[in-house]
Amino acid sequence: MCGIVGYNGKKKAVDILLDGLSKLEYRGYDSAGIAIKDKNIEIFKAKGKLINLQDKIKDKNLKGTIGIGHTRWATHGEPSENNAHPHVSNNGNVTLVHNGIIENYQELIQKLEKHNYKFYSDTDTEVLTNIIDYYYNKYKIGPIDAINRTMVRVRGSYAIAVMFKDYPDEIWVARKDSPMIIGQNDDGTYVASDVPAILKYTKNVYYIDNLEAACLKKDKVIFYDLNGDVIKKEMQEIKWDVSAAEKEGYEHFMIKEIYEQPEVIKKTINSYIQDNTIDISRSNLTQEEIKDIKEIYIIACGSAYHVGVCAQYILEDLTKIPVRVEIASEFRYRKPLLNKKGLAIIISQSGETADSLAALREAKNAGIKTLGIINVVGSSIAREADHVLYTLAGPEIAVATTKAFSTQLIITYILAIEMAHVKRKINKKKYLELIKEIQTIPDKIKNILEDDTNNIQKLSSKFSYVHDAFYIGRNLDYAISLEGSLKLKEVSYIHSEAYAAGELKHGTISLIEPNTLVIGVITQDEIYEKTISNLVEVKSRGAYIITVNPNKIDVNKVADFTINIPETNKYFYPSLTVIPLQLLSYYITVSKGLDVDKPRNLAKSVTVE
């Protein structure tokens, strides 16, 4: 996922652009560049980290108050200064930055070559730049008509910010499927691909919809539809605290966000539970609609998918509604058979995940009610879903999700309890018991962080050499093992797999050898003895065993190291067991000297296929 920042106002643009790009580094990138308009448009690009770009321009006296910037994650063309954005049309009239992928770029190249256009890079973005220029010159039309003709002509996903030499006091933007947000204050107008880039400057924003464009002047923003007609937009206020996007003394964002979990979980709980009553009325999902639901489809990617796996166990057990958990990228292509009285739940932190957004649209096209569990207000999924439940995690900067995952879990608990209550699958006493217990989760997480962090940190240094790790559990313990395994592999680069404990004998146990790391999650009363038996088997083959379990479960004879967690209701253990697994991944990664916030090859939000 690339990053876009633009500014048009009273202040020096270079400072705002570089600051904004630094706030987007977490999204992943391999090069960076800016274009500043003073007397002419000056472009500076550099391969590698943003510091390389800063070094290149540190002695330049860039006074311009209008400009666009970009951090690139290579898709078309290798990481290089030549392929970095901004790109410029052949005649120098159009300067552009772009997030996304243009799928029919080869067809467009052939068209442009017939009109004597040449190409200096290997990118689809340069093609997009010249297509805008082609329509602008051929039809002698203004920026909005050139951009709209381009939007109709190209296939793929994009968010673009464009500067025209003939319109020196304006930035033009447009989007399809890639996120974009526009801000405004007394000092000017701003555009960015994510909130943290402009949160320092303004909380007053506009959300631009698919196939819409806008013109950013110094003191106002004008929006257009695909016909070129002016449309009205309501300004909205971002509620996030600016400090939430800063490290505030922590070494990394990941550990800061791990420690923020008690607070953001409590905020999320309190937003839906008041006076021992669950209230999800803001989602506009009525009790009548809940009573009518006959099947649930949970659709997500990555960690959000693991939330769905947890939710499947809880929803089915409490509501007695059949639940399927779907990987979004598979759901959108496999033509699933859907019950017209089903509910599709799409889980996404950003609300912009490409496959999840496409799956949402597939579900809507099939006539299925849709519900988004989303962290970002105004995001595409939040706007397009029939119903929305917001997590209150605040901005999450580390690539590896922690607090967003935990707040998503909480929302699924609340939804399951409410649906079970509405469908009369649980009585009032059980309803109140579950509500009371869910409100204890923030303090129990806080206790884990206070009691176990030092021991986990000491333990982690022993495993920086490990090449393979296996996470095992049953039922909800298996579901959370999936997340623990993903956390370890994505930040530490250690090969890691999660298995339902009963599957060990069906092939996986052949991989166990002396000093293999095996993490057992053991919380479920009815079946914990079976998981312990599986751990005995791997221990006899030389594995090193770490267990995560409440005190009441005796693992002394099998575990080499035990992480004890507080007791809770069986449904809520994932919220507690995930905390030690997050800490374990974090400290192993730090002990290896790796960049835990920006793991290689990964981006925060996957907004292209």
> What is the fold of 451-592?
Rossmann fold (3.40.50)
Task: Give Cα separations from 543 to 54, 379, 457, 469, 562 (angstroms).
Answer: 48, 45, 20, 10, 14
Q: Does residue 603 register a pLDDT over 90?
A: no
How confident is the model at residue 464, as a pLDDT? 81
pLDDT digits (tens, 9 = 90+) for 209-234: 899 999 999 999 999 999 999 999 99
In CATH terms, are 255-439 and 451-592 the same topology? yes
551-575: average pLDDT: 93
Asked if pLDDT for residue 608 goes beyond 60, the answer is no
Cβ atoms of residues 95 and 44 within 8 Å: no
Report CA-CA distances (Å) from 165 to 77, 87, 94, 173, 188.
26, 13, 7, 15, 20
The pLDDT assigned to 503 comes to 74
Q: In 489-509, which positions are buried (b, 16+ CB within 10 angstroms) versus exposed (e)?
A: bbbbebebbbbbbeebeeebb
SS3 160: strand
- Residues paired with 550 in a beta bridge: 565
Summarize pLDDT for 237-248 with one digit per residue, the tens. Answer: 888 776 666 777
Model confidence at 177, pLDDT cuts 50, 70, 90, reads confident
- What are the sequence ranges of the domains in the chain? 3-238, 255-439, 451-592
pLDDT digits (tens, 9 = 90+) for 392-424: 999 888 889 999 999 999 999 999 999 999 999
Q: Residue 1: what pLDDT?
A: 55
Contacts 24+ apart (CB under 8 A), 124-128: 124/75, 124/76, 124/98, 124/156, 125/76, 125/85, 125/87, 125/96, 125/97, 125/98, 126/87, 127/102, 128/87, 128/96, 128/98, 128/102, 128/154, 128/158, 128/160
Cα 484 from chain centre:
17
Q: What is the pLDDT of residue 242?
A: 67
Structure confidence at residue 605 (pLDDT): 54
Q: What pTM did the predictor assign?
A: 0.81
Q: Six-digit token pair at 91?
A: 């005649």
Query: What is residue 511's DSSP assignment?
Result: G
Alpha carbon dihedral 395, 399, 403, 407, in 10-degree steps, equals 80
The architecture of the domain spanning 3-238 is 4-Layer Sandwich (3.60)
Q: Which fold has domain 255-439?
A: Rossmann fold (3.40.50)
What integer is the mean pLDDT of 37-52? 92
Q: What is the pLDDT of residues 496-541, one digit of tens each?
A: 999 887 777 776 776 778 878 999 999 988 888 888 888 888 887 8
Query: Any idea which residues carry the catalytic annotation?
Result: 2, 604
CB atoms within 10 A of CB 402: 29
Describe the chain by its helix, strand, coil percentages, rounded to 5.
40, 25, 35
pLDDT of residue 541: 81
Nearest partner of 568 among 418, 412, 436, 479, judged by Cα:
436
If you average pLDDT over every residue of the chain, what do you get?
A: 91
The per-residue b/e assignment along 319-334, b for 16 or more CB within 10 angstroms, e otherwise, is bebebbbbbbbebbee
